Structure 1
């Protein structure tokens, strides 16, 4: 009786594992390769800035720090599209300023708030999404991350200064703090912009972005940016990248997220199909042996009954 019960247990367990394996292959990828709606991320960059001193007409160099706070507005989002609120503040790092300062503080280089929407799988902008506020600036292309399973190809990437998507060209593979990345480069030259309200000028920027391709998460981003008045006078020279601590935090997050993907998309199907098949075979053999044993016992009992007669 115990062998029979154990056989049924093995068959039930095998069936459960096989179903789990099938779900891990057919259902799980569409769920885990989808941006969650609880994202609230702070990214820190540092570097140097040379900013025009109006009094002297010279560029003055100082250390600079940048804080980017990116949060998903879960209430405005839905199952397919995420609405983001992104706050970016660039501050001259003198006399230990806070992450952002008000507009009267001379250490402020720029402060911006952007609201945009992206597809939760492809990361592509959704400029006409109904959850966006009426005054949101329409965006195009990728905005703040790459798609899941990024490819060695060029993408269109949103540049808020230009106000348009620009080509992000696949350049190479590179390992950054143990994380295998695809590196994309963006080159902007002589783009017409407003230096300030009503003051036209031009904008150059050389950008490199390191992307972990499985999740599309940005691991490092550097900029070498210049801005000029129409007469050629340079008003800004900004060179920034992720801080060392930020790079390490991004690498740690990438390892955790890739580990979760491996667990759900590789190990669970493997255990489900292999373990489930083994359990089913073992359970079926055990039940078959119990059945054969029962038949042998019945035959032996009949022979003994015949002898006694």
Structure 2
């Protein structure tokens, strides 16, 4: 029995060591199998170019992000992302054709991020069909800190500073809130029309996993002369936020199991088993020696 306890103790101690030395690096990585749909809803004022007047409307923004699992590896994950912003008018699908007046904007992008840092991969290391982004793209890193980060803005095609603003709680989950602000940046409004872009976003991020739990957008687009083309306010739907909180809690539990519970059980249980095994072996030897004498 003593040798059995020694063997069990050794196994638990090895499990504890792996939980400390190996598990964090293996677990705290962006998965290579991602299929995520994100919905934001809100309202907007949109310029009618034929009349020169703006009108209020309901809008929905949909983002579908899928990983390219075959192209991804231990260090890098490749993503394909389709986004669509539409005017909601009756039964409106997630996206509509270019000929549909309800379409405000749509796009498709292919990018790659580092699985540990969540930063976009340097363009020099990418194949020709992958766009070279900079900064964070679709999540924060694991164990996100209360500091500023650079986040890629796909409207102006460059990173902007996401400054840490505050810590708060969403449905019982602790989050860090980061804010980006862009003021009158030059953009192409489409069809080679020069325009300006102002934007303020709030990202509520689960610091443990780096997942974006909630996003709030306040955005304006103008013609070069300052005429307002689009005034947009939207945020994640309540259902989206609730699902993100639930997913984050599940992922936190999985990370804690491997990086905290397993090491704790391994070191404490392993030490107790080793001590008990040694005690049994020594007691057995003394008993045997006593009988021999």
- TM-score norm. by structure 2 comes to 0.97
**Is the aligned partner of 1:76 residue 2:76?**
no
Query: Could you tell me how far apart the structure 2 residues matched to 1:124 and 1:22 are?
Result: 29
Question: What is the distance in 1 between the residues matched to 2:130 and 2:260?
Answer: 40
* Equivalence for 1:305: none
CA contact (8 A) 1:83 1:131 kept: no
Number of residue-to-residue matches in the alignment = 293
Query: Paired residue for 1:24?
Result: 19
d(CA) in 1 for partners of 2:13, 2:251: 25
- Contact kept in structure 2, 1:7 and 1:283, CA below 8 Å: yes
Match of 1:196 in 2: 190
Within 5 A, what are the aligned runs for 1:148-163?
148-163=142-157
* Residue in 1 that maps onto 2:4: 9
Spell out the pairing of 1:213-232 with structure 2 (5 A cutoff).
213-232=207-226
Structure 1: distance between partners of 2:54 and 2:171: 35
Q: Which secondary structure state, in structure 2, belongs to the residue aligned with residue 196 of structure 1?
A: coil
Q: 1:211 aligns with which of 176, 197, 205?
A: 205
User: Structure 2 residue aligned with 1:54, among 49, 52, 64?
Assistant: 49
Distance 2:239 2:40 in 1: 9
2:27 and 2:97 map into 1 onto residues whose CA distance is 40
Which segments of structure 1 move beyond 4 Å, counting only runs of 4 or more?
Answer: none
Question: Does 2:93 match 1:98?
Answer: yes
Task: Tell whether the 8 Å contact from 1:118 to 1:126 is kept in structure 2 after alignment.
Answer: yes
Cα offset, 1:58, TM superposition: 1.3
**CA–CA distance in 2 between the matches of 1:171 and 1:296?**
72
Aligned to 1:79, the other structure's residue is in SS state coil
**How much is the aligned-residue C-alpha RMSD, in angstroms?**
1.1
* Equivalent in 139, 146, 164 of residue 140 of structure 2: 146
Deviations 1:170-210 (A, max 9, x none): 11101111111111001100100011121101000011000
Counterpart-to-counterpart distance in 2, 1:8 and 1:281:
11
TM-superposed CA distance for 1:128, in Å, is 2.2
Q: Over alpha carbons, which structure has the higher Rg?
A: 1
Please, which runs of 5 or more residues in structure 2 have no aligned partner? Answer: none
- In 1, are the aligned partners of 2:82 and 2:107 still within 8 Å (CA)? yes
Query: SS of 2:94's equivalent?
Result: coil
Within 2, Cα distance between the matches of 1:130 and 1:141?
15
- Secondary structure of 2:31's aligned partner: coil
Judge conservation of contact 2:66–2:81 (CA < 8 Å) in 1: yes
Report the Cα distance in structure 1 between the residues aligned to 2:86 and 2:4, rounded to whole angstroms.
Answer: 65
Q: Offset of 1:130 from its aligned partner?
A: 4.7
Q: State the distance in 1 between where 2:55 and 2:217 align.
A: 19
1:13 and 1:135 map into 2 onto residues whose CA distance is 52
SS in 2 for 1:29: helix
* Residue 136 of structure 1, CA deviation: 3.5
